[in-house]
Structure 1
Amino acid sequence: MKWEKAKVLVLGTFHMFEHEGLNSEKRQTEIQELVSKLAEFQPTKIAVEMIPEDSEFVNEKYKQYKLATYKLEMNEIFQVGFRLGLRMGHEQIYPTDWMGESEMDYSEVESWAKENQPELLNEIYKEFIIPELTDSKSILDYYKELNNPSWLNMLHKMYVNVARIGDFNNYIGMKWLSWWYKRNLIMFANLTRLIDSEEERILFIVGGSHSTIVHKFLEESEICEVIQPLSYLS
């Protein structure tokens, strides 16, 4: 099977439930604008940041949405994924995430570094700025920032350098990072399992912190053509 012609677009997103005011008419119109841009990609499948064990749960909601008996909750999976799926006539949504237990939380790694390696932590965070959604910024423009290659490279650089936290035989950063990369590798592997033909066009809606890593895994695997989100958002 020739998979090199299959196309995958990894869309870095923000978690909408963390923001107020997205139910306003203005913001809902902006979300519809985003969906219209993504529809130009003509995805054959939409994958989302949800574990496969919740497939029945999310697709029951999607079924009810198609029947107009479910009001979309403030979550990017529903607000963007469901709307786009309906528009494209898709029968289902595809969860591809994994959430096993980690040896240490990121907050614990950060706390350890603040106490034991503050200079290294400052170096890792140097010039690291997280884009914010402001009242004057549209949803589409915010997605452009979250999917800008320069921002994503900076994000990837930060995660790689977390591995330096700790010391010989005391790999503090790796206690979290090994879980983080395993999770993203599983997302990558699950995405490849959705490729059934060279005509496949998969859109993966995932938190921006994951997008750069999964994007790189897909590129390095060479099993598909990885599409830059800005080619459709711009």
Structure 2
Amino acid sequence: MKWEKAKVLVLGTFHMSEHEGLYAEKRQVEIEELVSKLAGFKPTKIAVEMVPEDGEFYNEKYKQYKLGTYELEMNEIYQVGFRLGLKLGHNWIYPTDWMGEAEMEYGEVEKWAQDNQPELLSEIYQGLSILELTESKSIVDYYQELNEPSWLNMLHRMYVNMARIGDVNNNIGMKWLSWWYKRNLIMFANLTRLIDSEEESILFLVGSSHSTIVNKFLEESEICEVVRPLNYLS
């Protein structure tokens, strides 16, 4: 089996539940436009940022959505994943996430650095920009920004440099970062488990902060072709 011929597209997303106004007709039309663009990739499977333990729960909702008895809640899994799955006639949405416990939470590491290594923390955050969904920006425009390689690399660089927080006897940053890498490695592994043939095309809908690291694991594994989302969002 020539695994490298399978295709995987990692689509960085924002968490829609954190934004108001997305039920407005204008935004719903924009989400439909996004889904139509993604359909051009012709994914054979749609993977999402949910843990396997919740797979049955989400897929029961997906089944009801296909029957017309479930109104989509404001979550990218529903608004994008379910719509795309219905459009393409898929029977299942695939869970890929893992959410075990970290030794320290991100906020705890950040607070430690603020108290003990403020200059290093400032250096790590230097140049980091936060992308916002504004009234004048369409959903497709926002997804283009969230999947721009230069911005994603800047975000990834920030995470990598978290490893520098602490010292040789007390690797504070690693108390969270080791969890972050483990989570993304499990996502990568779960994605590869969805590849059943060289004809597979998998779309992975995941928070944009995961995009670069998951893509790097996919590229380094050499078991599939990594497809860039901007090829379909433009």
What TM-score, normalized to structure 1? Answer: 0.99
| Separation in structure 2 between the aligned mates of residue 189 and residue 6 of structure 1, nearest angstrom | 15
Q: Shift of the alpha carbon at 1:2? A: 1.2
What secondary structure sits across from 1:32 in the alignment?
Answer: helix
- Is it true that 1:145 corresponds to 2:140 in the alignment? no
- Find the residue that maps to 1:191 and give its secondary structure: helix
Is the aligned partner of 1:14 residue 2:14? yes
Structure 1 residue 212, shift from structure 2 partner = 1.2
Q: Report how many residues are paired.
A: 234
Structure 1 runs of 4+ with >2 Å offset? none
Matched residue, 1:78: 78
Deviation at 1:53, TM superposition (A): 1.0
SS of aligned partner of 2:220: helix
Opposite residue 13 of structure 1, the aligned amino acid is T
Q: In the alignment, residue 84 of structure 2 is paired with which amino acid?
A: L
Cα displacement string for residues 1-49 of structure 1 (whole angstroms, at most 9, x for unaligned residues): 2111000000000000000000000000000000000000000000000
Q: State the partner residue of 2:117.
A: 117
1:97 matched to 2:113? The reply is: no
Partner of 2:20, secondary structure, is: coil
For 1:76 and 1:70, the matched residues in 2 are separated by 15
User: Once the 2 structures are TM-superposed, how far is the Cα of residue 148 of structure 1 from its aligned partner?
Assistant: 0.2
CA-based RMSD: 0.4
How far 1:87 sits from its partner (Å)? 0.4
Deviations 1:53-91 (A, max 9, x none): 111001100000000000000000000000000000000
| Structure 2 gap ranges (5+) | none
Partner Cα separation in structure 2 for residue 215 and residue 138 of structure 1:
25
Aligned to 2:67: 67
Aligned to 1:45: 45
Distance 1:13 1:192 in 2: 20
Report percent identity of matched pairs: 81
What residue number does 2:169 align with? 169
2:110 aligned partner, one-letter code: E
Aligned to 1:73, the other structure's residue is in SS state coil
Cα distance in 2 for residues equivalent to 1:109 and 1:55: 31
| TM-score, length of structure 2 as denominator length | 0.99
Unaligned runs of 5+ in 1: none
Residue 201 of structure 1: aligned partner: 201
